[in-house]
Amino acid sequence: MVNTTSKPRYDLRSMQRAAKEARGLTITPRARQDAENLGYDLPGIRSLVARLEPSDFDHVWILKDDRGRVKLDIEGKEIAMDVYSPWIEAPNGDRCRIYLKMKLTHNTFAITSIQSFHQKRK
């Protein structure tokens, strides 16, 4: 499902390496809750990231304010996250397509969203 209109902002292999490190992975509380609803614990999330392929890339998500202006980080760079949408078999046995929104900052990999297109958010 490669999106040919944009390329990932971050190197997938670098994100996968960072996700393996104890201090290299952060998960927002909402993303952790959504992952748990799908049946994923922390090792499961790491495994999910490790199995991502470049073909799972969907688009780059840019953070904007209420007026549609691009928001910048403290370094003056736009806040961008890569979105991947792989098909998976969740630990609960359901086959579903998920939405992973991720970014790499220096050597820290952050997951800000893990949602299913097929299961309701709890």
Name the residue ranges covered by the structural domains of the chain: 13-117
Side chain identity at residue 62, one-letter code? I
Which of the two residues, 10 and 122, has the higher pLDDT score?
A: 10
At residue 4 the predicted structure's pLDDT band, cuts being 50, 70 and 90, is very low
Average pLDDT of span 53-66 = 93
Treating both helix axes as pointing N-terminal to C-terminal, what angle do 42-50 and 12-20 enclose, rounded to 10 degrees? 150
What is the helix (H) or strand (E) element at residue 61, kind and residue range? Answer: strand 57-62
42 three-class SS: helix
Q: Tell me which of 45-49, 77-81, 106-110 is least confident.
A: 106-110
Instruction: Round the average pLDDT of the chain to a whole number and report it.
Output: 84
Give the phi and the psi of residue 43 in degrees, each rounded to 5. -60, -35
- Exposure of 118 by Cβ count < 10 A (0-12 exposed, 13-18 middle, 19+ buried)? exposed
- What is the CATH architecture assignment of 13-117? 2-Layer Sandwich (3.30)
